[in-house]
Amino acid sequence: MPASAGPTDHVFIEGLEIDALIGIYDWERRVRQTLVFDLEMTFDNRVPAASDDIAHTLDYKAVSNRIRDYVGASGFGLVETLAERVAELVLAEFPVQRLRLKLSKPGAVRGARAVGVAIERSRTA
Rounded to whole angstroms, what are the CA distances from 51 to 39, 41, 54, 99, 112? Answer: 25, 20, 9, 24, 45
Q: Examine the residue annotation and report whether 105 is marked as an active-site residue of this protein.
A: yes
Instruction: From the candidates 67, 91, 105, 116, give the one annotated as an active-site residue.
Output: 105
The secondary element (H helix, E strand) that includes residue 40 is: strand 33-42
Nearest to 33 by CA among 65, 77, 64, 63: 77
Q: In what order do the strands lie in the sheet with 98-106?
A: 10-20, 33-42, 98-106, 114-122
Asked if 79 and 117 count as a contact pair (C-beta separation under 8 A), the reply is yes
Q: What is the DSSP secondary structure assignment for residue 14, as one 8-state letter?
A: E
The set of catalytic residues is 105
